[in-house]
């Protein structure tokens, strides 16, 4: 039988062992808290904080003593304090786990979002003995949530992953904390927090041992690193690092661990790791743990994945670069195109003057000079295209029919070694797009595919209708696939960079794909590329589906021989002397009478006089007041029959908005050939407005509600030229007043975005005042749908801006036919 003295000694020895193990656990917990990027804290049963780890002092700059609950709340954002305190008190009262999000002030006065969680530890009787909690910096997550709509799916995935990982960690921590026995409760609680952090944090966590001789071996690592290195933690215990990680990575980690142990200070560095074929960037943090004399050192480390953050930063830098290049492009396009216009205009004049007298050598030089000017103009258009600043003229387009019509063009352009096949649905959807630019984009992709198939191959162009979850998400896809050499990931990552090209010197500018990307995104679509070495390339263009009706085909343009002037008088407004002189000489050469003006004030004086003018040919961007668009508007008020043609190499924010030429604004882009100018002039001058109905017929009265002055002026002239009586209103208040003034209003034509009321709300008011009144909405919103009650109460039509005159005329006639 054991003596009482022996029993006492045994009990004392057990107590000492328990105390030693508790101290070791606390040492582990302190080491873990030291390297943890989170704020770790504990509180008494009544909610008073009695411990925080060093992360709290490093972040807040507070004095190194445990803060009171009041001190903690004082550092919360004023907007977050009430809810955070209310939830804490509710958790204390109910004994439930605590969770909230709040902004915490740093030592430099800035605010960052944190996710705070705490769990109660109970004794065998169920009484709460202590609270343990963590506060995790989720600033990137919060910022990602706010920017998710603009930044796209990548950031949404990051937020979802972070939230899911934190939820899993919380569940495991709660399950570990629940049901612990009273005995050795402090050690077990530390062990639970340690296990929960190690296995559930989204960071990679590892522990290394360092012998007195400096030998470094692995002790454990968490699940994240098990997956990254495809190992099990049991299999790496006690092994050198080079046994389970790449040599260069192991060498860097060994060097950093040695430095941390020698300096007895934490260390931090970045490591690039390839995981499943994808390079990812990690921030590695190391914290040394020093035991008793003769015991091995330990180093606790963590690896935080920075890949998504770096990708988001790279996307932001790319967007800023594109914006800067776009601004630079817009700045030089006007002047550069003016120079090209001088060159082209004088070459046209020189060719005319030498007609019949030029030697073959002179003709060749003229031809080469013309080709050089054309290449310069194309380069400028490409720059404007990839920077999303080219003027577009979108209209409802049958995408399948357009691609099908390119068969002959592709056969001629690609040569006999390329086999072209097409797949087009019997009824392809309509897209609101500039058809000429879309055709150019498909041709550009086909030529790129040809160049990738040096020895010939197969090119497949497939058009498909892609239904979305809603009608607004329906899209039309054009897939251009080749059997060429394909691209490695390093090349694929740069294909949209301007001036990047894999073609030999002289065979490409590196603007082809950026130009296509700029056009597609300017048309509210998307572009994606799939490629791999030896497997060919597929480029997919996706455009949103449009519900607009395709207008009837316009009559064929007259041949060049019918485009000469007939003596009409044209006022040329251009501040560049060389451009103005070249344009004026061209106009005289093709049969027009010309007057010139250097400033808008000089042009306004000529237009105010008695001298007759048939057309104003004006630059768009000029100094001084009035601006050319304002001058044109005032001139047409005084001279309703005056035609206006703008000429510009860059007209953004003047008559081109969001890449679309304003409705019923006529524009010819510099530099242009005399044939193009002659054709546009004849089209404008030969257009005859529809004569208004006789007064006795009582023309239908259209109430036009539009707040944009230039658009209102153009639309009023257009609707009046159809033969309607137009009543103008610039906002909802003026429109309502018109119903009091006029007994008869036959149709209301209204914009949606009015300054004082939504257009559809105004339409509902008008229908209540005049039941059955036909309504026509003119809008630039692709997603607008007519409210069902409004559609049931009478005729309702939608014309999508920018619309052509024939579409508007047919729409109005369906609502209020003109008298015969």
Per-position DSSP letters for 590-618, written without gaps between them: TT-EEEEESSHHHHHHHHHSS---SEEEE
Asked if 65 and 56 count as a contact pair (C-beta separation under 8 A), the reply is no
Quick one: pLDDT at residue 657? 44
Quick one: pLDDT at residue 77? 92
Highest averaged pLDDT of the listed ranges 28-42, 232-246, 448-462: 448-462
The arithmetic mean of pLDDT across residues 689-715, rounded, is 69
Read off the pLDDT of residues 286-327 as tens digits, 9 standing for 90 and up: 888 876 555 557 888 888 877 777 777 776 676 666 666 656
Task: Show the DSSP H helices in 687-747 as ranges.
Answer: 709-722, 732-741
Rounded Cα–Cα distance for residues 227 and 817 (Å)? 73
SS3 540: strand
Quick one: pLDDT at residue 647? 80
Quick one: pLDDT at residue 702? 93
Residue count of the chain, please give it: 820
Longest dimension (CA), the chain: 135
Cβ atoms < 10 Å from Cβ of 817: 10
Distance of CA 519 to the CA centre of its chain: 14
Quick one: pLDDT at residue 661? 43
In this structure, of 15-24, 264-273, 746-755, the range with the lowest mean pLDDT score is 15-24
The arithmetic mean of pLDDT across residues 722-732, rounded, is 88
The arithmetic mean of pLDDT across residues 86-106, rounded, is 91
Quick one: pLDDT at residue 291? 65
Of all residues in the chain, the percent with pLDDT exceeding 70 is: 72
Read off the pLDDT of residues 434-444 as tens digits, 9 standing for 90 and up: 787 788 788 87
Residue 103: pLDDT over 90:
yes
Question: How many Å is the Cα radius of gyration of the chain?
Answer: 37
Read off the pLDDT of residues 570-617 as tens digits, 9 standing for 90 and up: 999 988 888 888 888 888 888 898 899 888 888 888 888 878 888 999
The arithmetic mean of pLDDT across residues 546-556, rounded, is 56
Best CA proximity match to 677, nearest among 393, 222, 349: 349
Asked if 134 and 49 count as a contact pair (C-beta separation under 8 A), the reply is no
Rounded Cα–Cα distance for residues 550 and 545 (Å)? 13
Read off the pLDDT of residues 356-386 as tens digits, 9 standing for 90 and up: 677 777 777 777 777 766 666 666 655 555 4
Walk me through the domains of the chain, giving residue ranges and CATH numbers.
Answer: 25-200 (3.30.450.20), 204-305 (3.30.450.20), 395-544 (3.30.565.10), 695-815 (3.40.50.2300)
The arithmetic mean of pLDDT across residues 91-103, rounded, is 90
Read off the pLDDT of residues 471-516 as tens digits, 9 standing for 90 and up: 778 889 999 998 888 888 877 777 776 656 665 554 554 456 776 7
pLDDT band at 76 (very low <50, low <70, confident <90, very high): very high
Quick one: pLDDT at residue 253? 85
Quick one: pLDDT at residue 179? 47
C-alpha to C-alpha distances, 426 to 321, 398, 462, nearest whole angstrom? 42, 11, 12
Read off the pLDDT of residues 604-659 as tens digits, 9 standing for 90 and up: 888 888 788 889 998 887 777 888 888 888 887 778 888 888 887 654 444 444 44
pLDDT band at 342 (very low <50, low <70, confident <90, very high): low
Higher-confidence residue of 719 and 791: namely 719
Read off the pLDDT of residues 387-418 as tens digits, 9 standing for 90 and up: 545 556 677 888 888 888 888 777 777 777 88
Read off the pLDDT of residues 4-37 as tens digits, 9 standing for 90 and up: 666 666 656 655 565 666 556 566 656 666 666 7
Cis peptide before 626 (omega within 30 of 0): yes
Quick one: pLDDT at residue 378? 60
């Amino acid at each position: 039988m054991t003596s009482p003295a022996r029993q006492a000694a045994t009990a004392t020895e057990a107590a000492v062992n328990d105390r030693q193990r508790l101290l070791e656990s606390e040492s582990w917990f302190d080491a873990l808290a030291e390297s943890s990027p989170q704020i770790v804290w504990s509180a008494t049963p009544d909610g008073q904080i009695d411990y925080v780890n060093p992360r709290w002092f490093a972040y807040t700059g507070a004095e190194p003593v445990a803060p009171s609950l009041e001190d903690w709340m004082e550092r919360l954002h004023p907007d977050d304090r009430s809810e955070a305190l209310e939830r804490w008190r509710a958790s204390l009262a109910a004994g439930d786990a605590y969770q909230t999000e709040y902004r915490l002030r740093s030592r430099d006065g800035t605010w960052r979002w944190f996710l705070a969680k705490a769990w109660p530890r109970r004794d065998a009787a169920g009484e709460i003995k202590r609270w343990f909690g963590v506060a995790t910096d989720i600033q990137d997550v919060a910022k990602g949530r706010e920017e998710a709509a603009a930044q796209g799916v990548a950031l949404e995935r990051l937020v979802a992953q972070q939230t899911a990982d934190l939820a899993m960690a919380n569940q495991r921590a709660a399950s570990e904390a629940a049901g612990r026995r009273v005995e050795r409760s402090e050690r077990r609680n530390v062990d639970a927090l340690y296990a929960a952090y190690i296995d559930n944090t989204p960071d990679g966590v590892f522990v290394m041992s360092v012998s007195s001789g400096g030998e470094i071996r692995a002790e454990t690592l968490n699940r994240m690193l098990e997956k990254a290195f495809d190992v099990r933690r049991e299999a790496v215990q006690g092994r050198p690092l080079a046994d389970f990680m790449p040599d260069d990575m192991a060498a860097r980690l060994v060097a950093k661990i040695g430095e941390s142990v020698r300096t007895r200070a934490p260390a931090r560095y970045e490591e690039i790791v390839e995981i499943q074929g994808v390079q990812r960037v990690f921030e590695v943090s190391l914290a040394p743990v020093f035991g008793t004399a003769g015991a091995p050192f330990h180093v606790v480390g963590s690896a935080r994945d920075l890949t998504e953050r770096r990708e988001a930063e790279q996307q932001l830098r790319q967007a800023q670069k594109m914006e800067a290049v776009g601004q630079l492009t817009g700045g030089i396009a006007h002047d550069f195109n003016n120079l090209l216009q001088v060159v082209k205009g004088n070459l046209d004049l020189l060719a005319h003057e030498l007609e019949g007298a030029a030697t073959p050598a002179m003709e060749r030089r003229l031809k080469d000079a013309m080709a050089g000017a054309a290449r310069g103009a194309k380069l400028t258009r490409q720059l404007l295209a990839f920077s999303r600043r080219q003027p577009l003229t979108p209209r409802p387009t049958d995408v399948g029919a357009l691609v099908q019509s390119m068969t002959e063009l592709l056969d001629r352009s690609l040569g006999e070694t390329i086999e072209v096949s097409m797949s087009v649905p019997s009824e392809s959807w309509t897209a609101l797009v500039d058809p000429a630019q879309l055709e150019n984009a498909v041709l550009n992709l086909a030529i790129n595919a040809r160049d990738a198939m040096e020895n010939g191959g197969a090119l497949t162009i497939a058009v498909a209708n892609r239904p979305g979850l809603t009608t607004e998400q329906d899209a039309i896809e054009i897939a251009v696939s080749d059997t060429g050499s394909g691209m490695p990931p390093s090349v694929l990552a740069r294909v949209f960079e301007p001036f990047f090209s894999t073609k030999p010197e002289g065979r490409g500018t590196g603007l082809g794909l950026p130009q296509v990307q700029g056009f597609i995104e300017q048309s509210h679509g998307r572009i994606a590329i799939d490629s791999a070495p030896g497997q060919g390339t597929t480029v997919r263009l996706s455009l949103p589906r449009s519900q607009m009706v395709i207008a009837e085909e316009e009559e064929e343009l007259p041949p060049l021989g019918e485009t000469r002037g007939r003596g009409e008088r044209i006022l040329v407004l251009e501040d560049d002397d060389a451009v103005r002189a070249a344009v004026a000489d061209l106009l005289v050469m093709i049969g027009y009478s010309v007057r010139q003006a250097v400033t808008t004030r000089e042009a306004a004086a000529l237009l105010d006089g008695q001298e007759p003018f048939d057309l104003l040919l004006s630059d768009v961007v000029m100094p001084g007041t009035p601006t050319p668009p304002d001058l044109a508007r005032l001139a047409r008020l005084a001279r309703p029959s005056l035609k206006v043609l703008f000429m510009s190499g860059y007209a953004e924010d003047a008559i081109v908005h969001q890449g679309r030429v304003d409705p019923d604004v006529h524009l010819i882009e510099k530099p242009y050939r005399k044939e193009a100018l002659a054709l546009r002039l004849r089209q404008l001058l030969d257009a005859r407005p529809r004569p208004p109905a006789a007064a006795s017929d009582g023309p239908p009265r259209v109430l036009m509600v539009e707040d944009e002055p230039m658009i209102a002026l153009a639309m009023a002239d257009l609707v009046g030229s159809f033969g309607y009586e137009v009543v103008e209103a610039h906002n909802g208040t003026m429109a309502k007043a018109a119903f009091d003034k006029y007994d008869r209003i036959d149709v209301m034509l209204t914009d949606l975005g009015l300054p004082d009321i939504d257009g559809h709300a105004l339409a509902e008011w008008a229908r209540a005042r005049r039941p059955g009144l036909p309504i026509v909405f003119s809008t630039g919103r692709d997603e607008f749908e007519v409210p069902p009650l409004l559609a049931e109460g009478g005729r309702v039509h939608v014309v999508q801006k920018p619309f052509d005159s024939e579409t508007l005329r047919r729409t109005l006639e369906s609502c209020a036919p003109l008298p015969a």
